[in-house]
């Protein structure tokens, strides 16, 4: 009897892999309920298939959207927006900047207030979808920032990208502006003869070129004698300014006022002051042009240097006029000498975004500059006139291959201009 019970128990225990009797009997429903582990696995599978379905639907929707006129325009606009961040473009820009060798003199302050003409927007004036043969108009968003101008000509351009097709600029080209702000509405129009030959997504590029000047680039310059320098050294007073109680923020630099081109002026390779006047020594004056905006300086039209009348450019040492020191004496005033750069030497000077160009000249000093004084303070000044091209902007339209009315898109905006 005992052996039969043991046999039954062994048989019962042996029917389970663990050798243990189940928690619930064969007729208890709880025995067949899913475990927590199986619940989590089932939940993960459901979430996976839901996510996969969502990805497929997004891909289908994205493909459908991409093939719509609006999608094609958005893709083109995104491509243009990302173009400046192209790694190859960035690398080539850095490679070009590495070629800017030599001394560099920068302006002080970090004036973030821009001064000049701003090209804020370029948009289609009306619907972005037009039928073939319908005139279309684009509007320039222009602004004059922190400047007062007199008859400043803006040269506007408007072209269908990748095609040699230009639009008509309205009301005039160049657009002449005066005063503190731009009051005229600049437009570009493509007539029906042009649009009837177009189809699909069309990219139109607008550009602005204008002449401008950087002025009031002035550097305060301290001159002292070699004897004064020796006195400072013997008195163990190496700092000229603190010894004489002169309150200056060093290093002394010109001020940047927000123009497209910054002008920096320096007095030595290290730009240290004061300038010590030694026997047989010719002080250096250096000027650096720095393209601070995102556009391109196409060329210099005039470049002026104004120094005290007791100073003059040493032509023998500077070997001017040349590319490094392009200045020749233009006018002698009561207190200053004005030098101007040779047009032939500067007309080819151009600057891409972030690029620099430095000029250096050596000076002769007349004895009366310092006289018997311990030191004297003078001023260097530089001015530059140039032609500047702002970064182009693009707008996209969709030209449908369906004959449309001859009334133009945005034509109502032209009525006050023509």
Task: State the pLDDT at residue 407.
Answer: 43
Q: How far apart are CA 275 and CA 308, in angstroms?
A: 14
Q: What is the pLDDT of residues 137-182, one digit of tens each?
A: 999 999 999 999 999 999 999 999 888 899 999 999 999 999 999 9
What is the distance of C-alpha 177 from the center of its chain? 24
Q: Where are the domains of the chain?
A: 116-211+391-413
CATH architecture assignment, domain 116-211+391-413:
Sandwich (2.60)
Closest CA to 190 of 329, 395, 416: 395
Q: Is 80 helix (H, G, I), strand (E, B) or coil?
A: helix
β-strand 296-308 against 375-389: which pairing, if any?
Answer: antiparallel
Neighbours of 146 (CB within 10 A): 14
Measured over the CA atoms of residue 120, residue 73, residue 206 and residue 263, the dihedral's sign is positive
Tens of pLDDT, residue by residue over 69-80, are: 555 556 555 665
In the prediction, which pLDDT does 117 show? 97
For the entire predicted model, the pTM comes to 0.76
The candidate with the shortest Cα–Cα distance to 184, out of 153, 146, 148, is 153
* 190 contacts 134 by C-beta, under 8 angstroms: no
State the pairing for strand pair 129-132/393-403. Answer: parallel
Q: pLDDT tens-digit profile of 173-211?
A: 999 999 999 988 999 999 999 999 999 999 999 999 999
Alpha-carbon separation of residue 352 from 181, 290, 391 (angstroms): 27, 9, 11
């Amino acid at each position: 009897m005992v052996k039969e019970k043991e046999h039954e128990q062994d048989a019962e225990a042996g029917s389970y892999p663990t050798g243990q009797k189940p928690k619930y009997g064969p007729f208890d429903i709880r025995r067949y309920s899913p475990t927590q582990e199986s619940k989590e696995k089932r939940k993960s599978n459901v979430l996976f298939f839901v996510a996969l379905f969502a990805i497929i639907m997004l891909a289908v929707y994205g493909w459908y959207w991409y093939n719509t006129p609006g999608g094609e325009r958005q893709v083109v606009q995104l491509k243009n927006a990302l173009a400046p961040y192209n790694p190859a473009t960035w690398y080539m820009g850095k490679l070009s900047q590495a070629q800017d060798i030599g001394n560099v003199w920068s302006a002080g302050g970090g004036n973030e207030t821009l001064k000049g003409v701003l090209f804020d927007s370029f948009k289609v004036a009306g619907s972005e979808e037009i039928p073939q043969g319908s005139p279309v108009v684009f509007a320039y968003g222009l602004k004059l920032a922190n400047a007062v101008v007199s008859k400043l000509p803006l040269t506007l351009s408007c072209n269908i990208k990748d095609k040699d097709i230009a639009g008509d600029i309205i009301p005039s080209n160049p657009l002449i502006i005066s005063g503190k702000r731009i009051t005229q509405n600049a437009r570009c129009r493509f007539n029906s003869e042009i649009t009837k030959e177009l189809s699909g997504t069309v990219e139109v590029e607008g550009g602005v070129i204008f002449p401008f000047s950087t002025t009031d680039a002035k550097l305060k310059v301290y001159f002292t004698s070699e004897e004064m320098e020796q006195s400072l050294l013997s008195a163990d007073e190496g700092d000229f300014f603190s010894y004489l109680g002169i309150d200056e923020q060093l290093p002394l630099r010109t001020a940047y006022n927000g123009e497209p081109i910054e002008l920096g002026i320096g007095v030595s390779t290290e730009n240290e002051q004061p300038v010590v006047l030694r026997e047989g020594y010719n002080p250096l004056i250096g000027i650096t042009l720095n393209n601070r905006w995102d556009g391109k300086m196409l060329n210099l039209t005039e470049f002026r240097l104004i120094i005290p009348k007791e100073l003059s450019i040493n032509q023998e040492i500077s070997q001017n006029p040349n590319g490094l020191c392009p200045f020749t004496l233009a006018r002698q005033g009561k207190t200053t000498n004005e030098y101007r750069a040779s047009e032939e030497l500067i007309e080819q000077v151009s600057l891409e975004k972030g690029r620099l160009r430095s000029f250096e000249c050596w000076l002769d000093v007349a004895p009366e500059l310092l006289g018997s004084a311990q030191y004297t303070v003078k001023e260097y000044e530089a001015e530059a006139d140039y032609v500047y091209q702002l970064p182009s902007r693009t707008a996209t339209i969709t030209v449908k291959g369906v004959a449309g009315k001859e009334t133009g898109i945005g034509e109502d905006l032209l009525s006050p201009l023509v």
